[in-house]
Amino acid sequence: MNGREAEQHASDAARQREGLSWKKYAKRLNKYLAAMEKLFWPDLFIIGSGISKESEKYLPLLTIDTPVIPAQFLNEAGIVGAALAVRKNEIEPSD
Protein backbone atom coordinates (compact mmCIF):
# COMPACT_ATOMS: atom_id res chain seq x y z
CA MET A 1 0.00 0.00 0.00
CA ASN A 2 1.42 3.32 -1.04
CA GLY A 3 4.75 1.64 -1.77
CA ARG A 4 4.95 -0.01 1.67
CA GLU A 5 4.07 -3.42 3.01
CA ALA A 6 0.48 -3.43 4.24
CA GLU A 7 1.59 -4.58 7.71
CA GLN A 8 3.48 -1.31 8.10
CA HIS A 9 0.49 0.69 6.90
CA ALA A 10 -2.72 -1.04 8.04
CA SER A 11 -1.77 -2.83 11.26
CA ASP A 12 -2.64 -1.91 14.83
CA ALA A 13 1.01 -1.02 15.34
CA ALA A 14 0.71 1.53 12.52
CA ARG A 15 -2.51 2.88 14.04
CA GLN A 16 -0.83 3.36 17.40
CA ARG A 17 2.44 4.68 15.99
CA GLU A 18 0.66 7.28 13.88
CA GLY A 19 -1.97 8.12 16.49
CA LEU A 20 -4.83 7.41 14.09
CA SER A 21 -8.41 7.76 15.25
CA TRP A 22 -10.60 4.70 14.73
CA LYS A 23 -12.31 6.50 11.84
CA LYS A 24 -9.00 7.20 10.08
CA TYR A 25 -7.76 3.69 10.79
CA ALA A 26 -10.97 2.17 9.38
CA LYS A 27 -10.57 4.25 6.22
CA ARG A 28 -7.02 2.97 5.79
CA LEU A 29 -7.98 -0.65 6.50
CA ASN A 30 -10.96 -0.34 4.17
CA LYS A 31 -8.64 0.78 1.36
CA TYR A 32 -6.41 -2.26 1.91
CA LEU A 33 -9.32 -4.71 2.14
CA ALA A 34 -10.90 -3.19 -0.99
CA ALA A 35 -7.67 -3.92 -2.88
CA MET A 36 -7.71 -7.52 -1.59
CA GLU A 37 -11.39 -7.76 -2.54
CA LYS A 38 -10.59 -6.78 -6.14
CA LEU A 39 -7.72 -9.27 -6.36
CA PHE A 40 -9.25 -12.31 -4.69
CA TRP A 41 -13.06 -11.93 -4.52
CA PRO A 42 -13.22 -13.46 -1.02
CA ASP A 43 -16.42 -14.58 0.69
CA LEU A 44 -15.19 -13.37 4.06
CA PHE A 45 -12.31 -11.51 5.71
CA ILE A 46 -11.24 -12.69 9.16
CA ILE A 47 -9.19 -10.18 11.12
CA GLY A 48 -6.79 -11.60 13.69
CA SER A 49 -3.87 -10.18 15.64
CA GLY A 50 -4.02 -7.47 18.28
CA ILE A 51 -6.41 -5.27 16.34
CA SER A 52 -9.11 -7.96 16.46
CA LYS A 53 -9.62 -7.22 20.17
CA GLU A 54 -10.88 -3.74 19.23
CA SER A 55 -13.11 -4.82 16.32
CA GLU A 56 -16.25 -3.08 17.62
CA LYS A 57 -14.44 0.26 17.20
CA TYR A 58 -13.64 -0.04 13.47
CA LEU A 59 -15.61 -2.88 11.83
CA PRO A 60 -18.87 -0.85 11.72
CA LEU A 61 -16.96 1.89 9.85
CA LEU A 62 -15.84 -0.37 6.97
CA THR A 63 -17.68 0.00 3.68
CA ILE A 64 -16.42 -2.91 1.56
CA ASP A 65 -18.87 -5.48 0.20
CA THR A 66 -17.20 -8.54 1.73
CA PRO A 67 -18.17 -9.32 5.34
CA VAL A 68 -15.40 -8.76 7.91
CA ILE A 69 -15.33 -10.50 11.30
CA PRO A 70 -12.79 -10.79 14.12
CA ALA A 71 -11.00 -14.13 14.46
CA GLN A 72 -12.61 -16.39 17.06
CA PHE A 73 -9.34 -16.63 19.00
CA LEU A 74 -8.55 -12.91 18.49
CA ASN A 75 -4.85 -12.23 19.07
CA GLU A 76 -4.09 -15.93 19.58
CA ALA A 77 -5.50 -16.92 16.15
CA GLY A 78 -2.05 -17.08 14.53
CA ILE A 79 -0.62 -19.12 17.38
CA VAL A 80 -3.51 -21.61 17.24
CA GLY A 81 -3.20 -21.88 13.45
CA ALA A 82 0.54 -22.51 13.64
CA ALA A 83 0.06 -25.17 16.33
CA LEU A 84 -2.58 -26.92 14.23
CA ALA A 85 -0.31 -26.84 11.18
CA VAL A 86 2.54 -28.41 13.15
CA ARG A 87 0.23 -31.07 14.53
CA LYS A 88 -1.09 -31.88 11.05
CA ASN A 89 2.47 -32.24 9.72
CA GLU A 90 3.34 -34.59 12.59
CA ILE A 91 0.38 -36.82 11.75
CA GLU A 92 0.54 -36.56 7.94
CA PRO A 93 4.16 -36.33 6.78
CA SER A 94 4.59 -34.46 3.53
CA ASP A 95 5.88 -36.24 0.42
Report d(CA 9, CA 57) in Å as an integer: 18
The per-type count for the chain, helices as H runs and strands as E runs, is 5, 2
CATH number, domain 6-91, options 3.40.1210.10, 3.90.1150.10, 1.10.3130.10, 3.30.420.40: 3.30.420.40
28-73 pLDDT, tens digit per residue, is 999 999 999 999 999 999 888 778 889 999 999 999 999 999 988 6
Q: What is the pTM of this model?
A: 0.76
